[in-house]
Amino acid sequence: MDIDLFENIPLFAVLSPEQRSEFAQHFIARNHTKNTIIINEGDETNSLFIILQGRVKVYLNDKSGKEVILNVQSVGEYFGEVSLLDEGARSASIMTLDDCYFAVLLKQEFSRALSNNPDLSLAIIRGLTQRLRALSGNVRSLALMDVYGRVVSTLMELACEQSEGVWVIEESLTYADLANRVGASQKMVGRIMQDLKKGGYLRKQAQQIIIERSLPSAW
């Protein structure tokens, strides 16, 4: 693959240009359209995926179809490394949220890269640690916060400050998406969002959510 595609991938910042150039030769390009399931929980696959274009959601679901979103990943992020490290089945499902372009590395090349580049191994470990911390935060939220608290926490996690006191969520976010992220019913989340709109705390603008002042700590 073209080495230029890897220049802005944080994972490869630890590699020299020569190492990146050599490493890039082992990747396979892969395109997937929106709403394609790339990985099913329980699959036994052998690939590392790096997102070069688009977004994916990482989620769990049960036989009844109930879904909980663990994370949304975008350009520069990667998934699939856990199964390559422990040789276990995939621990979550992955679906594209947009048309996506991936760089894919098979297990044999992944193992060789880690053996030849200790700094890359450390970068993978740091990435896993960050995900563990985020997962711990999600578990804490589910266990200790009510639905309103989880909604507010998720909104602020997704938002970027546009100006003093004004925050914007750029990505399109439906009530169903938010409900799946916080582990609550769509009806309950919709009621909370409507109340926040009526109270003048937030508003919709095209596909964005604008948070115009600090959200109450409790409702």
Write down the mean pLDDT value for the chain: 86
Q: What percent of the chain has pLDDT over 90?
A: 35
Q: Report in angstroms the alpha-carbon separations of 143 from 60, 98, 109, 179, 185.
A: 17, 31, 40, 16, 16
pLDDT bin (cut points 50, 70, 90) of residue 151 is: very high
The dotted CATH code for 3-143 is 2.60.120.10
Location of structure tokens 């073209």: 2
| Residue spans per domain, the chain | 3-143, 146-211
Which structure tokens are listed for 96? Answer: 């594209």
Which structure tokens are listed for 62? Answer: 């049960």
Q: Report in angstroms the alpha-carbon separations of 89 from 1, 4, 35, 95, 117.
A: 28, 32, 22, 17, 25
| Nearest by Cα to 173 from 161, 182, 163, 162 | 182
The dotted CATH code for 146-211 is 1.10.10.10
What's the confidence (pLDDT) of residue 117? 80
The predicted-structure confidence for 187-213, as pLDDT tens digits, reads as follows 999 999 999 999 999 999 888 999 999
For residues 142 and 153, what is the distance between their CA atoms, to the nearest angstrom?
Answer: 11
The predicted-structure confidence for 48-87, as pLDDT tens digits, reads as follows 899 999 999 999 887 777 788 888 899 989 998 877 777 7
The predicted-structure confidence for 90-125, as pLDDT tens digits, reads as follows 888 999 999 999 999 888 888 888 888 888 888 888
Instruction: End-to-end CA distance of the chain: give it in Å, rounded.
Output: 51
In which element (H, E) is residue 73 found?
strand 67-73
Domains 3-143 and 146-211 share a fold: no
Whole-structure pTM value: 0.71
For residues 136 and 41, what is the distance between their CA atoms, to the nearest angstrom?
Answer: 20
